[in-house]
A = this chain, B = another copy of it.
Amino acid sequence: MAHIPAPDSVFIPAEKLRSFMESIFITLGLSVENARITTDVLLEADLRGIDTHGVGRLSIYVDRLRSGQQNPEAPLTTVSDAPGTALLDGGAGMGQVVAAQAMEIAMEKAAETGIGGIAVRNSSHFGFAGYFPLMAAEKGMMGMAVTNARPSICPTFGTEPMLGTNPIAFAAPTDLEFPFLFDAATSIIQRGTVELYDRLHLSVPEGLVVGESGETLTSPASILEGMVRGEASLLPLGGRGEESGGHKGYGLAVMVEILSAALQNGPYLKHVTGVGLGHFFLAIDISKFLPVETFKSVAGAILRDLQNSRKECGRDRIFVPGEKEFLIRRERMESGIPLPPDFLLKLDEMAAEVGVKPLAR
């Protein structure tokens, strides 16, 4: 539901939003190329309806760049290297740039050895996680990206926010109009969804968030406050306890934490702040296994069979992972990206502060 726009939204053409964001990033010290990458990651989230990871986060990056918390032009350095792997240091640079470069290196290694695995330390929030595996899918490879994040999920039987929403993103090419794309936090919902419930004046459904004793919390406002104070925790995928599989979502979140923190000897769990994040990227060169066209036709057949399978009463459509985002992207390339008027005012205030032309409307 992250893509439900506010009813009075103004539709901004994607290319206008792109130029605006690029100008801001260039003014704040990014090279043209790095501004292009950072903007593209944000814009691709907006285009796909992943509104929690698009231009809505611009102010966070602007604040960090202005305060010097993030280095706009940090060089990516190599800590260790092998034919199929590397550990890179992001130098507290822009997460999007660091991640895109790391994924490129994973793909180069995969093109040589069949598979590339890149660990990254000293990075920052990289935005829409699916962007990076999609880079691989566009080149006929499979890709995966994981990252840790500031703590918000409690372990099974716990009530303290310990693990980040620790997303797993995975993409694979298909012979459909769009690639397979799985991109999900290992919690049931994430903070942005709570904010959306708040904006829509809706309660958060029971069983998604718990308080200090493990009681379910449903008021978005008190959840958001509780999250800041470390008193409210997002439940892992599968929910509370073990009966409905909550220990599985918890286990996946720990797996991501180990891949993101232990493989780079970086901050973990409560030691994770906005900067100093770790990531792990995987690229698999399908052509080293079998012809890419064969792979695509089997992957496509899997998705088509799922679409055509028996539906619940009252449902006329089954979606496959990546399909909804593809449909929203196609629509928004035409209609523009819906943004609430009050948010547009804030964007223009930010532009004035930074010294960039306001978003032309």
B-binding residues in A (CB < 8 A): 1, 79-80, 82-87, 110, 112-117, 119, 142, 154-160, 162-163, 168, 170, 172, 180, 182, 184, 188-189, 205, 207-208, 210, 212-214, 237-239, 242-245, 247-252, 254-255, 257-259, 261-266, 268-270, 284-286, 288-290, 294-296, 298-299, 301-303, 305-306, 309-313, 315, 317-321
> Contacting A158 at CB < 8 Å: which of B114, B214, B309, B321?
B309
Consensus secondary structure, chain A interface = mixed
Residues of B within 8 A of A160 (CB): 309-310
A266–B60 Cα distance when bound, in Å, is: 46
| Identical chains in the assembly | 2
Q: Give the residue of B1, B182, B305, B312 whose beta carbon is less than 8 angstroms from that of A255.
A: B182
A180 contact set on B, CB distance < 8 A: 254-255, 258
* Interface contact B115-A116, CB-CB below 8 Å: yes
State A306–B238 Cα separation when bound (angstroms). 18
> Which chain B residue lies CB-closest to A157?
B315
Known A261-B298, A263-B289; contact A155-B309, beta-carbon cutoff 8 A: yes
CB distance from A174 to the nearest CB of B (A): 8
The 6 closest A-B pairs by CB, nearest first: A85-B114, A214-B312, A84-B113, A82-B114, A160-B310, A262-B298
